[in-house]
Structure formats: C-alpha cells, structure tokens
Structure 1
C-alpha cells in the first residue's frame, strides 16, 4: 500500500528557511513547501547547538545532532528530504553500519567522487537528486553502481514569487536612462579581480554590489560609480529589496571563480553549482546575465541568446562584454525576455515540484 505525500510524515533537513524574518522562496526550499501545502506533516527534529558547532569544526556537517536524532527515531517519519548531502552523510554512514534502511532523498550539488563520505551516501540514500544532467553524468564516472539511485531534478525557480514581489513594489518598472546599470549579485564562488580591472577606466557604467565580503568590497571599491546594496556587513538583503535592485538594473554580472576544467578536474575539485541561484533570479525578472561558464549548469546563455559567457580571469573579455551592452542597450530587454521565457518553459517550480513528488511517491510505502 503506497503512502501519498499528502499523508506522509517528512523530515525536511535544511540549513535555513527563514532569513531576516522572511520565508525564503521555493527555489531555496527545493519544492518541499509544495508537499507540506498538500498536507504532508513536517516532523520536528532536535538539535544541540554546541555539539553541532563541534561537529562542523570537525567537518562532520553543521547538524550532527539532528542526524543522530533521525537515526535514533526512525519510527517518527516516513522519509527524509535533505537540502544537500552534507546534511545526511553521517546519518547514511550510521544506517549503512547497522544495515537499517529509511527512504532518504538528498539533493546533489556536485558530482560524487571516490571518498568514504560519498560511499556512505551511495549506500544510504534512496535517491540522489542531481541538480543538473552534468552532475549526474559525472557522478557515474566514479560511482557507476549509483545509477539506479541517481535522478536528475533540474533546479527550478518560483517565477510567480518574484512577480508578486515585483508588483508589490509598484509594478513592472524598467531601468532608468543614463549609465548602464550592472548588478553584482552574490558571494559564493565569486572572483571579482578581472571584472574590477575591466571597469577601471572611464566607462558610462554604474555598478551596484550585493555582497557582504570585506575582501571583495575592498576590490570592488576601485570601480568608479559603484554603490553597495548592503546596509551593513552580515545583514541579509530582504528578497523584496533584491527584486527591486534586479528590476532597476540593465544586466546582472556573475564573475565566478571557475577556470576551464576537464571532467576529471571537476570531479576531483568538488565543483558545484556556483551562480545558479543568481542566474535564475535574474532570468525570473527578465534580466540578461554576463557570467563565467559553469559546466555543471545546463543552461547555455549564448545558445538561448539571453546572456554572454566570459572566462574567469579575462579582463579584456569582461570589458568587451560591458562595451557590447553599452552599444546594444535596446537588445538587453529582449535578451532578458528570452531568459524569462526559458525558465518558464524549462525550469518552472511547478515542473520541479512535480518531478520531486513523483520520486517521493515511488519510495513511500506503508510497510
């Protein structure tokens, strides 16, 4: 007898769902909010902050006590959904050592490699939810036995969430005339030195910066006509404010610390989906993107004609791309509209939720 997600007890293992008092949108909640909205019951887990900090210091993950609690109380939940594999790797190891099983569905940001941790994941997870085709492909290189467990669930974006914030802010405003407005969005996996070098000269550009890294800000302050969106270091920017800045810019720039690499180097270096959230957020509000190519991200900006790729350390390439934007201002809204159409057609949260629900349903049973 199959249990439906609407009647299931789900342990939702995540790092953070609320930022500055605001619930994060569904692309961060990985679609599980849809399951809970249908009636699935979220099983509360227990954590001990002091021991969790010790576990994180020992590189055992940020939630070691939660994983131990889940191991000791399997009767209280029907399955686990984990936002990333770091949050369940110890649990998988404990289960594999005892021979016990429990449905665990963990999102995979990076390809599996040959390691004890990833062996535990392979043995303990019911499904490893690769967030791109490339992640699934590379995971099979060193873990061919995981083929039956790997499923691709392309990262989705909750476009209506961003539309709602945009309308609450006063409707579909467009960037003002004047300088080309570039938004530098994000901190994880970024490398700004070549971008800063590219914009060091006299260009009709205004750069708005969304990062709380003191190191990055020290670099970025060399750009003429820059302004910081952060009100104070360490304070998050509410999503409504982020949407305001996305709407007000002409183009989003994502210079990533991602040099060209072979598949073997991507696996060995634990390459991850740097830039995917900021890319999809920009597309959701119809903004084109200049970014370093991340081979783990399946969306090809240039093939879809909604942005341009620039190599990490290529200051000349960044400068030429910005100059192209200055010379082709009228083309930018068209490119942004293409980006929005692409995510609506291929990366909607509805499609993501449907795929996730199918996987959960296939593993739930009442035995």
Structure 2
C-alpha cells in the first residue's frame, strides 16, 4: 500500500490502488494511516511456510494497537489470517473491516466442516464490503449465512478508478480512425493463449502486456501480436491504452475460483472511454453488455473472439456508442469517489458500534 500511495503522490498511478485513503483524506471524517508492509522479510518467509501471508506486518501491528481504532484490509484474509485467528480466540479486540473480491469459502472442498469454518471466520470480521453482488449472494448461499448476519455484516460497493487523476488522460479520446490496435494487459487468470490464436490470420494488431510470470505459453506467436513483459506500471501503459481500439480481457479459471477476475482491467476500460471484449464472468458486479460498453465471449472460444474482434474493428457506429457509454459509466457510477463514500459510511458505522 505504501508503494501504491507513493506512486499516486508522484502522479504515476491513480488513487484507487490505495483503496479509498486518498478520498477519505479529502472528505475529512476518517484519518487513515498506511501501516508499513514489510520490515523483516525472514518472518514473511516463515509465515509462508505455515500458510500465513504477510506475517511480519501482522506481528508488528500487534505492537501498535493503541494507535488505531479500526483495521481496514482491502485484501481480507490474505493480510489478516493471523489477526482473524486471534480475533476468533478473543485475543484481538479491534474491529476489522475488509473488502472481498475473491471466494472466501474453502475452494472446491465440499466438506461441510470446511464450509462451517469459513462461515465462522467471515462472520468474525466486523464488516465485509463485497465488490460484487453475485459473489456476495454466492457466499451467503454456499456458507449458509443467515439473512440477519448478512444484513449486519455485509454490504456492497463498486470499486472504481480515480476520476480526478485519469480525467486528464481521457478527456479528449482519440477518434476511431486514429486507434491502431487492440490491447490486453494483466496477469491474474489471463488466457493469452486463446487470444493469440484468435488473432492468428487476422489483419488487426494486438499488444499484450503481462508480467514475467504470466508470459503466454504459445511458442509460435504470429507477427501481428506483440508481447511485452517489461512495461508494468499503469502510468507507462497510458499511451498504449489511448491508441487502442478496445481493451481485451481474456480469462481462464476453474468454477470454484470464480471471483472478480478482470475487475482491475475494467477500471482501464472506463478510464479511457474504451469498448471491451472479455471472457464472461458472472461474478463481476458490472455487466458490460447491460451497460452497453462491450461484449462477452465464451471461455477458450477462439471463434467467438474472432467474430467480436471483426465487428469491433469495422463498425464505427457501435464503437462510438460503446465509448460514450464507457465515459458516462465512469462519471456516474464507477469511480473512486463513489467507492470511498460507501467505505466512509461503513467505517463510521463500525466506529459507532465500537464506542457503544
């Protein structure tokens, strides 16, 4: 988080990667401090061995309990596993507020005991902000959470991009005729292999931006596809997004891991007023077809990709309408200020309950 905050202060990243802090600072009712992520790497290595991520941060935080009223963790159990265990045992008294954007239950394990443990743990959080209504409903159903507990603990908010930061880059988007290629950037559960096959034999160009760990496994990459794993900062991707025809989000994951995959890339879609083609993900809170900003394709469906790519690259009127809808979505219901307003409401309500 401190790295994301530093990039924002330097003008190299949007505030949404700091998950509400920047907006809360401006609003003035909540004083949020970023707790340093890592001081003793060895402790994290030990924690990883025992299946506890970010152990160093959690241990150090125990020595700073007097400095805060509420612990807010945008990555829920990945950053709070030890603290949540201590909370279950009655040894950690501070309220914990989290955002949830991935499945909380015990993976594909259908064992009732695992589901009961998952329900027990998630209800020990003081407040859970789900970033997806389908994911929230699925969690309530699979973990058999009562309506009373869900109403008391759960709420819904759409995480959105920094409208102030990105407006200067998307205020005057390029016309259809000046857009040169398609772009796909990301690394979590990405299916670049299917996307590459879809572009094989087409006249359109594709830029893929990934990390060294998510480089496509395809060996014979066609000449109209460029793969780059060196440009990773969002700021450096801006000129590439600006010249793109549409943003592509190819996904692959087993059903039991279905969560908010592709959500971060959708931030870029609305930020740059672009249309989008993406693998269907029913767990996302945003329906790109209902919002009129893009089209879904089936998982691993090369021909489906080819069909949509041809339409997007040739039909200017559809492209213009989707771009306009994308911009309107950014301004009215999918941005960082709307997310922060809900976060502030949850934090203040949690503080009020704590003080009673």
Which of the five TM-score ranges fits, normalised by the shorter chain? 0.7 to 0.9
Q: Which residue of 1 aligns with 2:218?
A: 219
- Structure 2 distance, partners of 1:58, 1:18, is 31
* Cα shift at 1:101: 2.2
The 5-angstrom pairing of residues 48-59 of structure 1 reads 48-59=40-51
Q: How many positions carry a matched residue from both structures?
A: 336
Structure (1/2) with the larger helix percentage: 2
The 5-angstrom pairing of residues 284-303 of structure 1 reads 284-303=271-290
The reply on whether 1:328 has 2:315 as its aligned counterpart is yes
* Cα shift at 1:67: 1.4
| Change beyond 3 A, Cα 1:89–1:24 | farther
Unaligned runs of 5+ in 1: 1-12, 260-265
The 5-angstrom pairing of residues 1-367 of structure 1 reads 17-18=5-6, 24-37=13-26, 38=28, 40-42=31-33, 44=35, 47-61=39-53, 63-85=54-76, 86-113=78-105, 114=115, 116=117, 119-123=120-124, 125-141=125-141, 142-145=143-146, 146-147=149-150, 148-166=152-170, 172-174=173-175, 177=178, 181-201=181-201, 203-213=202-212, 216-219=215-218, 222-230=221-229, 232=230, 236-237=232-233, 239-258=234-253, 266=255, 269-365=256-352, 367=355
Q: Does structure 2 retain, via aligned residues, the 8 Å contact 1:112–1:143? A: no
* Cα shift at 1:57: 3.7
Q: What TM-score results when the alignment is normalised by the length of structure 2?
A: 0.84
* Cα shift at 1:175: 5.7
- Structure 1 distance, partners of 2:313, 2:170, is 25
Please give the secondary structure, in 2, of the residue aligned with 1:42: coil
Unaligned runs of 5+ in 2: 106-114
Q: Deviations over 1:138-170 (max 9, x none)?
A: 111215144121111121221221122457xxx
Please give the secondary structure, in 2, of the residue aligned with 1:283: helix
Q: What TM-score results when the alignment is normalised by the length of structure 1?
A: 0.82
